[in-house]
Chains A and B, each alone.
Chain A
Amino acid sequence: VQLVQSGADVKKPGESLRISCQASGYTFSNYYIAWVRQKPGQGLEWMGFIYPGDSDTTYSPSFQGQVTISADKAINTVYLHWSSLGASDTAIYYCARQSRPYGDYEVFDFWGQGTLITVSS
């Protein structure tokens, strides 16, 4: 299993951005993929996830309306999109696969390498 994320980017406030997470080594449609934010020197924040099989998506209330998560099954890729970035979006963004190793216990068992997004004028 591998999750490979797009590279770091520097954007200006108000610009749009889409970052990607390409999965391999397993059946892409069968596992949720989540996005997790980590601001500089801070903890992990669960943003939302998508089930690529049917594109069912759930967002944290903190991120609802701020970002859009989508998936392209043809190329085993999940995206995170902003229509208008702000300085507070400066962070590392991780994608992670959610699985159920036992019963209905859900974990992030594989992570991407992270994508650093810097928003600065």
Chain B
Amino acid sequence: DIQMIQSPSSLSASVGDRVTITCRATKIISRYINWYQQKPGKAPQLLIYAGSTLQSGVPSRFSGSGYGTFFTLTIRSLQPEDLATYSCQQSHTAPHTFGQGTKLEIK
């Protein structure tokens, strides 16, 4: 299986901050990476697919980048409603494994 190593596992930031979460794949996956947001007590929601394409309705403060094995999710100006856990997922090879998640707290 391809492992997705995500960091940090948790972080705390203030409203307005720029936040970056990284994901490293143990094999080359081109841009076959998705990012999901999971708010407390809710099901995950798709944020970004194909490495950098925003899902419809996702605010433009979210962005994704990377290619090959190293990827980032960036929130340009953190908002209170961004309190959530963020997870990467590779869709290059089944099983489509997830990273272990990053829990984002608002200071």
Q: Tell me whether A44 and B94 are in contact (CB under 8 A).
A: no
Complex Cα spacing A110 to B9, Å: 25
A68 to chain B, nearest CB (A): 16
What per-residue 1/0 map shows which CB atoms of B72-104 lie under 8 Å from chain A?
000000000000000101010011111111000
Q: How many of B's residues come within 8 Å of A, CB to CB?
A: 25
Decide if B101 touches A43 in the complex (CB within 8 Å): yes
A44 touches B95 (CB 8 A): no
Contact with B along A81-121 (1 / 0, CB 8 A): 00000000000001010000111011111011110000000
**Which residues does B use to contact A, with CB under 8 Å?**
1, 31-32, 34, 36, 38, 43-46, 49-50, 53, 55, 87, 89, 91, 94-101
A44-B101, A107-B34 given; 6 more Cβ-contact pairs under 8 Å: A44-B36, A48-B95, A58-B94, A107-B46, A108-B44, A111-B45
